[in-house]
Structure 1
Amino acid sequence: MDIRRRNNITVTGNPRGPVVVLAHGFGCDQNLWRLTVPALTEDYRVVLFDYVGSGGSDLSAWTEERYSSLEGYAQDVAEVCEELDLEGAVFVGHSVSAMVGVMAAKKAPERIGALVMVAPNPRYVDEGGYRGGFSAEDIDELLASLELNYLGWSSAMAPMIMGNPERPELGEELTSSFCATDPTMARAFARTTFLSDSRRDLAGVTVPTLVLDCTEDMIAPPEVGAYVHRAIPGSTLVTLDATGHCPQLSAPDATNAALTAFLAGLE
């Protein structure tokens, strides 16, 4: 299989620099990182890709069996890293990709040497003393609405997920990204994302890890960032001066500053 075509791999930046892999979340593609890439290309070799079912990926490679769990996406990451023969790369995962990165680092420890988790959430459903941001009923309703009318759900939810209502162009961009995703594949990715529980994986992280959260985020409330930080031994938590779930778009300067400071500390 042509992995480069399957995952629409893009490689840019300094070919002799350390490698940074940027991974998008649900309903998005590598374009989500366009304001981050310029901050990295002088010093780092930057790898971008699309998960199968998203962006410019090869949709014919998608199967519901593989992508009905986060393990399927983690396998994509491991295969992308193997295809490019990466060693000790820094994996930057947004939203659900943060947990995919945790799984990929376990699958291919020689390939991934550090993690940056942007607005992570290992479990979206509240449980006991854990606050994930949604009740079980909320998630059931969200998935039912998505199944019934994906485009309508996208138009309603994307601006709420993005936040920053005073900047409607951001919500419109996320809406367009959601709506460009194949509905069948998007529904499967949504179920995989919102029903996942990856909390047990956090304690097994052994690589340097930066957790980035926002002051206000309906998908990953600040309590979640604090939980992830506590669960990963030796991790660093930075709360960005940003709102919404996509700080790389809504607050790129703050996001890039935190990311590049972490990267500099690894050298």
Structure 2
Amino acid sequence: MNLQSRNNIKVLGEGPSTLIFSHGFGCDQTMWRYLLDHFTPRFKVVLYDLVGAGQSDLDAYDREKYNSLAGYAHDLGEIIDEFGTGEVILVGHSVSAMIGALVDRQSPGKIAAHVMIGPSPCYIDADDYVGGFKLEDIHSLLDTLDSNYLGWSSTMAPVIMGAPGQPALGEELTNSFCRTEPEIAKQFARVTFMSDNRKDVAGLITPTLILQSTDDLIAPVAVGEYLQAVLPNSTLCLVANVGHCPHMSAPSACSEAMDSFLSPWVGTDVD
């Protein structure tokens, strides 16, 4: 199967290093558009849709393969091998940050650095770990999603987006959720919210920028602080923002933080 059509891959910009942007649950590559003009003059930029999302090839969706994040990590590894030039930095939103961590664990050195936006290695509270949700909360969320996906999407997407002063963004995320094939979305939601990747991130030495909103229902600040503690070469940057998608609702703050972090991989000085 052609990799480019499978994942609807687009390549923009030019530079000595490659930024690969990997979107989160219910999203697609178009949601990176607020950052692209800032980075394409200095980086090769690769955009793609996870299989089952956006304009990816739905015929490539295999329920067995994608019943864990490992299936998505396998795809990302292939994309890096074929489209990555120079050093590769993964910009992963939400669950894609953990998909990138899995690739890094499996193939050390394949990813030179991570920018994790709203990441969470585990959404469920456990012992002294604060993930933001109790197990019964996640079960309830998934049960509601199973029984009424469109209703769940219409209610939850604006809450996930946040950005109370930018209602159009909530509408955009709602529409994106509703465009996703419901059975695929249900499985991906279960895989995402039931995953526990704490062992995968613990001790990962790759340079990492953690971008966390100051008010995020899905990934609270405590999760960012946990990641900073277990990733030995990480920096936590809190973005003054309400919601789980600061790359859309606070793109300038994200770009500024990313500029500082990415300076070692830029061929020329940042403007």
TM-score by length of 1: 0.97
- 1:112 Cα deviation from its structure 2 partner: 1.2
- 1:242 Cα deviation from its structure 2 partner: 1.4
* 1:79-127 Cα distance to aligned partner (Å, 9 max, x none): 1112225452000100011111101122333431111110100000111
Secondary structure at the counterpart of residue 206 of structure 2: coil
Q: Which residue of 2 aligns with 1:259?
A: 258
- 1:73 Cα deviation from its structure 2 partner: 0.8
- 1:71 Cα deviation from its structure 2 partner: 0.6
Measure, in 1, the Cα distance between the counterparts of 2:176 and 2:95. Answer: 16
Measure, in 2, the Cα distance between the counterparts of 1:72 and 1:51. Answer: 10
Report if the CA contact (8 A) 1:87-1:110 is conserved: no
Q: Which residue of 2 aligns with 1:193?
A: 192
Report if the CA contact (8 A) 1:86-1:111 is conserved: no
Q: Which residue of 1 aligns with 2:36?
A: 37
The range that moved more, 161-170 or 125-134, is 161-170
The range that moved more, 99-108 or 88-97, is 99-108
Q: Which residue of 2 aligns with 1:62?
A: 61
- 1:219 Cα deviation from its structure 2 partner: 0.2
Report if the CA contact (8 A) 1:28-1:178 is conserved: yes
- 1:243 Cα deviation from its structure 2 partner: 1.6
Q: Which residue of 2 aligns with 1:142?
A: 141
Report if the CA contact (8 A) 2:73-2:102 is conserved: yes
The range that moved more, 24-33 or 196-205, is 196-205
Q: Which residue of 2 aligns with 1:97?
A: 96
Q: What is the Cα-based RMSD across aligned positions, in Å?
A: 1.2
Report if the CA contact (8 A) 1:87-1:111 is conserved: no
Q: Which residue of 2 aligns with 1:247?
A: 246
Secondary structure at the counterpart of residue 35 of structure 1: helix
Q: Which residue of 1 aligns with 2:11?
A: 11
TM-score by length of 2: 0.95
Q: State how many pairs are aligned.
A: 266
The range that moved more, 83-92 or 251-260, is 83-92
Q: Which residue of 1 aligns with 2:173?
A: 174
Secondary structure at the counterpart of residue 211 of structure 2: strand
Flag as ranges the 4+ runs of structure 1 deviating above 3 A: none
Structure 1 counterpart of 2:56, one-letter code:
S
Measure, in 2, the Cα distance between the counterparts of 1:88 and 1:17. Answer: 8
Measure, in 1, the Cα distance between the counterparts of 2:202 and 2:131. Answer: 18
Pairing of 1:102-251 with structure 2 (within 5 A)? 102-251=101-250
Distance 1:47 1:217, change over 3 A: same
- 1:179 Cα deviation from its structure 2 partner: 0.5
Q: Which residue of 1 aligns with 2:269?
A: none
Report the identity percentage.
Answer: 49
Structure 2 counterpart of 1:259, one-letter code:
M
Measure, in 1, the Cα distance between the counterparts of 2:228 and 2:86. Answer: 25
Structure 2 counterpart of 1:169, one-letter code:
A
In structure 2, list runs of 5 or more residues that go unmatched. Answer: 267-271
Secondary structure at the counterpart of residue 112 of structure 2: strand
Report if the CA contact (8 A) 1:202-1:231 is conserved: yes
Secondary structure at the counterpart of residue 54 of structure 1: coil
Secondary structure at the counterpart of residue 210 of structure 1: strand
